[in-house]
Amino acid sequence: MCDFSKMMMRKAIRLSLKSMEEGGGPFGAVIVKEGKEVASGYNQVTVKVDPTAHAEVTAIRKAAKKLKTFDLSGCEIYTSCEPCPMCLSAIYWARIDKIYYANTQTDAKAIGFDDSFIYGQLELPEDKRSIPVVKMLRNEAIEAFEIWKNKEKKINY
């Protein structure tokens, strides 16, 4: 592991400590592009009263704003903990090239951040999930998809 990678991971770890000082959970993240830090974030779920304000999502939002693009191809993320399902999905949607992490899912589970329930729910058929899923009005909603499909001026993502 190169010195730059260690430095970025140590920053993510410091951010996880800062998060706790401000009342958040112990998670921090740094996004890098071409060997330069683009953005960083830490967990602000309880501070901002926002269940999506995880370290990785916060860093992704800042990086996208700074780079003026939702496509973070060419970027890497350093995160103090293996990403949860939501953050992992956000990383894929952002097209980040590589993930570096320190603590594991098992480490997170040991301190009360257990994502195994969510992973388990994703594997179940909709009718077996703990949150009821009701499909409705598809015949009306499909119109927007048809318009999108045929739209000439659109930004694909």
Is the model's pLDDT at 98 over the cut of 80? yes
Q: At what angle do helices 55-67 and 3-21 cross, to 10 degrees?
A: 120
Q: pTM of the prediction?
A: 0.92
12-29: pLDDT as tens digits: 999 999 999 999 999 999
- Which one is catalytic: 22, 56, 123, 126? 56
Q: Which residue has the tokens 């959970």?
A: 25
Q: How do strand 75-81 and strand 28-33 relate by DSSP bridges?
A: antiparallel
Residue 21 known to be catalytic: no
26-53: pLDDT as tens digits: 999 999 999 999 999 999 999 999 999 9
